[in-house]
Amino acid sequence: MTPLPNAVASQTLAREVEHAIAASRHITATDLFALAADVYGGTLAEGAFTPRDAYDAAELGLHLHLLRLGPVGDDPAAALAEVERLSTLLPTQTRRTVEQNDFQQFSTPAAYAGLCAWVSGVGEGCRVLEPSAGTGALCTFALASGATIHANELSGRRADLLAVLLEEAGQDPSRTLTRENADHLDAILPLEARADVVLMNPPFSQTAGRLGTRRVPTVGTDHVLQALRRLDTGGRLVAVLSAAVQRGKPTHQAFFQALDADPFRLRADVEVGGAVYRPYGTSVRTRVLVVDREMEGKAADGEGRVEAAVESVNEAADALAPTFVG
Ligand SMILES: C[S@@+](CC[C@H](N)C(=O)[O-])C[C@H]1O[C@@H](n2cnc3c(N)ncnc32)[C@H](O)[C@@H]1O
């Protein structure tokens, strides 16, 4: 696939950000847009790049650095605190674009992505599926743990960046990266793209412009149901969804029924406060769901399920650790 026009410049910018992060150097929004003007050959005002180009390249820079730090490991509190420290070296994403709104390109905050990967138990030899992988926050921690990934991302601009991350981890994006609409992922993906672990943070309620700006509250849950079809027995799915996805709502009744039905078992449902996403330009409250696929006929009821509402990634880790540690 031929990369989009700004792809090479975005990669250059990502590398500059990666070096700054490795040196623990703060990058303000002014710094980022100045660096971007150099690599894109013109300013933001001149239209040489969009804020999203610059923010996404900066995210890739962070992810490239995190890839080298390795997986979350046995001390999640310390590891996630370090990820948080590195993330705060980047500027808050205050400027929105139409594409960002339509595709809900609010990337998974890096520490939150680290938490999801840790809860999933992903490790060496696991086959991971990420259906809407963005600039690869969730992929980063899976790749760092030695897993192989099938990543999908509908935005060609973001998929070009993701390809850089996959290559950096020794994967071949021509085989492991698709650019499909995850609404129909199960019907589209190659048959061999099956997973031991699914890590996902689908769009919360937008349809990538297909239905204009109309909110569709089942977009994220539809993506989860598609991904569950690719999860093998013994596997685990960890999804970050809007907190508005609630068991008690008629709109989401069928979704939770599916998660409660054999062979699936909903292991955790933790609501997380909106401050977590603030650096990414939104304050959406989210819900992290952990779903296991068990042997047919063996899926237990909701006994032992972790249910909590917390405000931070650290508190979510505390709520989940007693059940998922080890
Ligand atoms: C909330 S972001 C999460 C990104 C990613 N999971 C991460 O680790 O940062 C949602 C992503 O889904 C992509 N997207 C939106 N609609 C999509 C669709 N219908 N199919 C596949 N990807 C989609 C967006 O471009 C965006 O990158």
Tens-of-pLDDT digits for all 326 residues of the chain?
Answer: 666 668 899 999 999 999 999 999 999 999 999 999 999 999 999 999 999 999 999 999 999 999 999 888 888 899 999 999 999 999 999 888 777 667 677 899 999 999 999 999 999 999 999 999 999 999 999 999 999 999 999 999 999 999 999 999 999 999 999 999 999 999 999 999 999 999 999 998 766 666 666 677 799 999 999 999 999 999 999 999 999 999 999 999 999 999 999 999 999 999 999 999 999 988 889 999 999 999 877 656 667 899 999 999 999 999 999 998 76
Mutation to probe ligand 1, out of 104, 205, 210, 240 (largest number of atoms < 8 A from CB): 104
Give this prediction's pTM: 0.95
* Ligand 1 lining (C-beta closer than 6 Å): 103-108, 113, 132-135, 137-138, 152-155, 158, 181-183, 201, 203, 208
The residue whose C-alpha atom lies closest to atom 13 belonging to ligand 1 is: 132
At 96 the pLDDT is: 80
Which atom belonging to ligand 1 lies closest to the Cα atom of 138?
8
**The two structure tokens encoding residue 170:** 């020794």
Which atom belonging to ligand 1 lies closest to the Cα atom of 134?
27
Q: What is the DSSP letter of 188?
A: H
d(CA 142, CA 144) in angstroms, rounded, equals: 5
Mutation to probe ligand 1, out of 103, 139, 158 (largest number of atoms < 8 A from CB): 103
- Integer angstrom CA distances of residue 107 from 34, 173, 278, 284, 323: 22, 20, 11, 12, 27
The domains of the chain, with CATH numbers, are 96-324 (3.40.50.150)
Q: How far is the CA of 152 from the centre of ligand 1 (A)?
A: 9
Residue in this structure with the two tokens 């970050």, named with its chain if needed: 240
- Integer angstrom CA distances of residue 56 from 53, 61, 155, 287: 5, 9, 12, 24
Sequence length of the chain is: 326
d(CA 273, CA 309) in angstroms, rounded, equals: 8
| Rounded (10°) angle between helices 51-69 and 76-87 | 150
At 199 the pLDDT is: 98
- Integer angstrom CA distances of residue 211 from 106, 206, 257: 19, 8, 27
CB 198 within 8 A of CB 131: yes
At 211 the pLDDT is: 62
Q: How far is the CA of 299 from the centre of ligand 1 (A)?
A: 30
- The secondary element (H helix, E strand) that includes residue 257 is helix 253-260
Burial class (CB in 10 A: 0-12, 13-18, 19+), 225: middle
